[in-house]
Amino acid sequence: MTEQILHVTGMTCDHCAASVKQALLAVAGVSRAEVSYPDATAHVEVAAGTPVAALLDAVRAKGYGAEVSGGACCGTAPKTESRLSVAIIGTGSAAFAAAIRAAEEGAAVTVIEGSTVGGTCVNVGCVPSKILIRAAHVAHLAAQHPFPGLARRAPALDRKALVAQQQARVEELRHAKYESILETNPGITLLRGFARFEDAQTLVVSRPDGMEKRLTPDRILIATGRAPQIPDVPGLSGTPFWTSTEALVAEDTPAHLIVHGGSVVALELAQAFLRLGSQVTLIARGRLLSKEDPAIGKELKATLIEEGMRVLTDTTVQAVRFDDQSFELETSAGLISGDKLLVATGRKPNTAGLALDRAGVKTDTSGAIVVDDHLRTSVPHVYAAGDCTNAPQFVYVAAAAGTRAAINMTGGDATLDLSVVPAVVFTDPQVATVGLTEAQAQQLGMETDSRMLTLDNVPRALANFDTRGFIKLVAEKQSGRLLGAQVLAAEGGEIIQTAALVIRNRMTVADLAGQLFPYLTMVEGLKLCAQTFSKDVKQLSCCAG
């Protein structure tokens, strides 16, 4: 028997050392293995003729680096200080949150990006869309506000100037929140190119100059986000349709915009263009916001129709034609023509080009990477975070996931708790939700009690002369514990976090009804709705406690 001494990199705790030991003991010819995390060494007793390569491969298969130590055969190998190496594919919110935290923990971080730094949110998602929506809201108020003593007039529209302002703010935020971090954080290096797996340990990065670079990091985080999902509709491919990316930077306002889709992006942009002067026809395969309480989609549809939008629900698109000037859609509701077509029928994970099968990283049927609550994939040293995973597609979830993935990649133990996830759709009125709907709670076997309060019972809504929408609360019947809230209201996004905190702290509707809320505020509507579980709020005075 002889002893081999290996230098092992990438271990971050004693659990890692135990994992390496188990891998070494599984190699034929190994009779003993002692692995030290502090010394980064493995002392392995092997039978004569046992190939060293088998030992190195066993360690590397667990996601750690390994090489034969330069120390004496039977002596103690000197401790070698080495930084944990982390490669992150992508530069969006999840990627940057992870990169910053991993660098803080002492890792050497390489972020890999083949396109624009910053990902979806700052470049083509949250930031530009909310600027567009806000501008459209201001235009709508100028022309349609509810105060007869103020002259109403449609503002003159300079779409090119609006886009220039919007994109200037996008560039400003991209530099402040992303590019400047790369410039000033010595622990993070940007590598330009597109990454794919060669095997579980190796990334191949195809660089812009045509060369390829191979990386064998100790840990890998996949944070590649999502892209628009284009439906397989005959005739659509090859036409100059818009996705949200093109719509947001279009410098001309369509005379008639057709929007194909019935969820978040479709609804937000359809209403924005309507308010900027376009005729808009929206075509949805099912009902609006089909994953939400049916009352939300029903009332939002009525609001959009009242505002002037043509809304076709439960309608299929059967074919698309374009004649160099206009689109013509064959639908189950008849022919629809318009000069622009926006396709917003969902988003797909950016995982197809990663060669995940070569690494053994599992995905679901949509191509999303399956992760656990520690953001681990099916491969021990490979993690994933953000919209490319099976987690909810919100930027704040992505950022939280990225931070927790970095903690875990560097030896910590952090979980991503998705039990309370508030969400907002920035239509007007806004859709804001958290927790369970009645149907979801009942599917889980819970007996529920619920109340819906229309906004004509909320003093602030009356003062605003805008009583569109409602607040609905779902409670567990026996305990009264709040399970969920669904809000359709102007500034609903500013209301929902209060409900989220109530759910997080396992408060009852009676607890909520007894809280002090400032008057006049829209969030007071939560208190009023909670009071309806035991009172008739129409019989209460203002500020009734």
Helix (H) / strand (E) containing 500: helix 496-504
Active site residue 529: no
User: What's the rounded Cα separation, in Å, for the pair 484 and 419?
Assistant: 11
The tokens of 109 are what?
């971080």
From 73, 74, 211, 542, the catalytic residue: 542
Helix axes 93-104, 395-409, angle to 10 degrees: 30
Among candidate residues 385, 366, 364, 363, the one with its CA nearest the CA of residue 374: 385
Active site residue 73: no
Type of residue numbered 480:
G
Active site residue 388: no
From 121, 388, 522, 529, the catalytic residue: 121
State the first-to-last Cα distance of the chain, in angstroms, to the nearest integer.
82
From 11, 388, 409, 507, the catalytic residue: 11
User: What's the rounded Cα separation, in Å, for the pair 344 and 124?
Assistant: 13
Q: Which residues contact 269 (CB under 8 A, 6 or more apart)?
A: 129, 132, 244, 247, 248, 259, 342, 344
From 1, 13, 309, 409, the catalytic residue: 13
Check residue 316 and give left, alpha or beta (phi > 0: left; psi -120 to 50: alpha). beta
**Residue the block writes with tokens 């009690």:** 449
Count of beta carbons in the 10 Å neighbourhood of residue 335: 10
From 64, 178, 409, 522, the catalytic residue: 64
From 126, 396, 446, 452, the catalytic residue: 126
Beta strands in 323-465 (DSSP E): 327-331, 334-338, 340-343, 347-349, 382-384, 423-425, 430-435, 448-454
Active site residue 446: no
CA–CA distance from 522 to each of 134, 333, 433, 477 (Å)? 19, 39, 15, 26
Active site residue 74: no
Helix axes 159-174, 126-144, angle to 10 degrees: 140
Q: Which residues contact 363 (CB under 8 A, 6 or more apart)?
A: 349, 351, 356, 369, 370
User: What's the rounded Cα separation, in Å, for the pair 298 and 281?
Assistant: 17
Q: Is 486 helix (H, G, I), strand (E, B) or coil?
A: strand
Catalytic (active-site) positions: 11, 13, 16, 64, 121, 126, 542-543
